[in-house]
Amino acid sequence: MATIYEIARAAGVSPSTVARALRGSGYVSPDKRALIQKLAREMGYVPNHAARSLKSKRSQKVLFLIPDIYNPFYFRMIKGATEVLEEHQYFPVLCHTKGDPALEMKMLSNLQQGFGDGMIFVSFDFNPKNTAAVNASGCPVVLTNNYQSPDGRDAFDCVFVDTFDGIRMAAQHFISRGFTRIGYIGGNIATQTGRERFSGFQHALQQNHIAADQRLFKVGDFTMESGRRAMQELIDQRTIPQALVVANDLMAIGAMRVCKEQGIHIPGDLAIIGMDNSDLAQFLDLSSIQMCEEEIGRNAARLLMERIENPKLEKRTIRLQPSLALRKTSEAGEAPAG
């Protein structure tokens, strides 16, 4: 494996000229640049990333924290972010936090120790302890949740899709079709994600003067199995709603599987809308809420790259608007009796 000194001797130029030509910055005549790059390929030159990082004081890596590596919702987000990071010669380091606050804080500590130049935090819970830790880190961080700082002094940027409005639109769609007994399967409302989505559902009911029936509301953990359990509870307690809004596609698919096993027809007996508009939802004709995952990833990466280059930028927040993707599972023209 050749060094820049060996390439310099072969090209008859100085090592600094070789470094500029291979780095792509600084002046080198077009003929010399072409010759140096040709010799580098022929001689098997490989850039020394460790040395370059030591000189620039940058790792060229971004820590990308996701809570559930099995959830396809995050795949498109990672794809969108990676496209932008590659343009800046950065690459993501995927960190599976399992939604564990202790592990999230450990990753933040790793960032402070130089394991990455910045962090994209997915499904972060904005409790006082977590926000204080991110602010105190002094590192470039972008969060993919909605957060409005009480004092405006937070040091992180946010990009988010309005899940409150997404769930509200799904519930409103059913209400506009004449449904009054509408169920909901969502996450734990003690968390930011669970709280926002359930608030959107409640808002739709309140705006339309529909009484909330607590028996129709079930808590899951955004996995398919938790959707199965929640649907089975509704069946066991004989409180199957006319329509069901589910806070992600995996739980909605779990609920649909139980319905199929129990002979409950969708949408004839029960209409369903999920959330994420995943490939699975499209394959199964599941109505869902489009969540702009790739756009979240692209915007998060852009904000982070700008923050790395200019740490003194003002805090920025980008809001993305969801939309309904209606398919077979919510097709029923009239609300069924019940």
Q: What is the residue range of 281's domain?
A: 163-290+325-330
- Average pLDDT of the chain is 89
Report the C-alpha gap between 36 and 13 in whole angstroms: 9
> Do 278 and 258 share a structural domain?
yes
> Do 209 and 95 share a structural domain?
no
Instruction: Determine contact, residues 117/140, Cβ cutoff 8 Å.
Output: yes
pLDDT for residue 54: 43
Q: Name the domain count of the chain.
A: 3
Q: What percent of the chain has pLDDT over 70?
A: 92
Q: What is the CATH number of the domain that holds 16?
A: 1.10.260.40
Instruction: Determine contact, residues 126/101, Cβ cutoff 8 Å.
Output: no
Return the structure tokens found at 218. 């079930």
Instruction: Determine contact, residues 95/65, Cβ cutoff 8 Å.
Output: yes
Mean pLDDT of the region 75-85: 93
Q: What is the CATH number of the domain that holds 148?
A: 3.40.50.2300
Per the domain annotation, does 52 fall within a domain? no
Per the domain annotation, does 103 fall within a domain? yes
Residues 6+ apart with CB under 8 A from 74: 66, 68, 122, 293
Report the C-alpha gap between 284 and 270 in whole angstroms: 15
Q: In this predicted model, what pLDDT tens digit does every residue of 142-189 receive, in sequence order?
A: 999 887 767 767 778 999 999 999 999 999 999 999 999 999 999 999
The answer to whether the predicted template modeling score (pTM) of the entire model surpasses 0.95 is no
Report the C-alpha gap between 156 and 111 in whole angstroms: 14
> Residue 132: what residue type?
A
> Do 286 and 170 share a structural domain?
yes
